Chains A and B, each alone.
Chain A
Amino acid sequence: MDFLTATRWSPYAVGAGIGVLSWLAFLLLDKPIGCSTAFARTSGMIEKLFRGSVVDKKEYYVKFPAEIDWEWMLVLGVFIGAFLSALASGQLAVEWTPSRWVAAFGPTPLVRWVVALVGGFLMGFGARWAGGCTSGHGISGALQMAVSSWLAAICFFIGGVAAAMLIFRVFAG
């Protein structure tokens, strides 16, 4: 059982495993694996706590009801699965700032928190704008040979590489 306590698996093995999970998702759930819609639904559920059922009438939440669905359970599962994997390998630890960030921008958690918040905002906004994320478009859509997904996934990397180069090669100097 040494493989369960290993810190890293081959990326090809991990990718193949995710490919097999996509078979199961299509066969058993009749759904492609995705993650970002769950965040949009959660956002609607939180808004409902403050504003009540008028939120359900918003055009977006008529299309994607603000309630717990299979994808929400899948994202909850991702949290649990990563927790179990990190627990097994001894990597489970509270970390405020990732090491690569610290090397470039210093150890202050507040700075990293604000930047992560801005990045998260852009990502949540962009994922819903594009109709999917790295898993929904990048893996599930691409494996269905969907034109929307190949186009979106290529743009994820164009935007991502450009912004990362700017952040780490220009701003971090």
Chain B
Amino acid sequence: MLKRLHDRRPAQLGLALLVGIAFGFLLQKGGVTQYDVIIGQLLLEDHTVVRIMLSAVVVGTLGVHLLRSLGLAELHPKPGSFGSSVVGGLIFGVGFAVLGYCPGTVAGAVGQGSMDALLGGVVGILLGAGVFAALFPRLSRGILAVGDFGDVTLPRLFKLNEWVVVLPVSVLIVLLLWWMHGVGM
């Protein structure tokens, strides 16, 4: 673990900016900063978004778990509950279709000149996040706590070595991508 680097705030902010620039460059080159591409995915016509996400998950999971096995990285899985992950996920999904960008790609869309992303998307997300923050004390003791399962991962849930999950899931994702390509999806 590069503990000393992790503790140096200016270096962290600078590195995060560089990672973000590369991320934004890739998102724009992938076409997912475009409304038409996101909507094409949600109408199940053009699977660019799913192709990018699944490829990122395969490459990411193999490398990150290798770093973890080597003692160079720690995992930070997010906690969840049915009330939070399912209900929040569905609300997000509706927003995803109505806006046609997501919180990352909306920033990229602004960068390429999409005014609906700037004046509608960014302003709306800031308002939505602000209203959520105001309601948080009530929600966190109510629906967000329903069916709480914590920050569990699939390997811990099934009490398996992480590679016993990571390798088969990666193979399944590659097969799925290959099949989608084969049937012309």
Contact = CB atoms under 8 A, between A and B. Distances in A.
A27 B165 contact: no
Contact of A19 (B35, B63, B91, B134): B63
Contact of A124 (B2, B81, B125): B125
B132 to A, nearest CB: 4
Contacts of A100: 35-36, 39-40
B79 to A, nearest CB: 6
Interface in B78-123: 78-82, 84-100, 102-117, 119-123
A11 B76 contact: no
Interface in A35-87: 35-36, 38-40, 42-44, 46-47, 58-61, 68-71, 73-86
A82 B80 contact: no
B73 interface: yes
A44 B12 CA distance: 22
Contact of A148 (B77, B91, B96, B108): B77
Nearest to B149: A147
Interface size class of A (residues with CB under 8 A): 35 or more
A167 B28 contact: no
Interface SS, B side = helix
A82 B109 contact: yes
A108 B27 CA distance: 27
Contacts of B122: 39, 120
Interface size class of B (residues with CB under 8 A): 35 or more
Contacts of A116: 98-100, 116-117, 119-121, 124
A62 to B, nearest CB: 10
A160 B56 contact: no
Contact of A86 (B52, B57, B113): B113
Contacts of A96: 115-116
Contacts of B36: 98-100
Given A144-B77, A155-B89, A27 B2 contact: yes
A9 B103 CA distance: 21
A136 B110 CA distance: 20
A164 B130 CA distance: 25
Given A98-B34, A151-B89, A71 B96 contact: no
Contacts of B92: 122-123, 126-127, 129-130, 133, 152, 155-156, 159
A78 B81 CA distance: 30
Given A8-B31, A12-B51, A78 B132 contact: no
A75 B107 contact: yes
B85 A131 contact: yes
Interface string B123-165: 1111111111110110110001000010111110100001001
B80 A147 contact: yes
Given A46-B126, A109-B116, 19 more contacts: A15-B58, A16-B56, A21-B26, A22-B64, A29-B16, A40-B129, A60-B134, A68-B13, A69-B13, A73-B20, A77-B16, A80-B21, A83-B111, A125-B129, A130-B88, A135-B104, A144-B64, A149-B85, A169-B43
Top 6 A-B pairs, shortest CB-CB distance: A77-B20, A120-B124, A159-B93, A148-B80, A116-B120, A15-B55
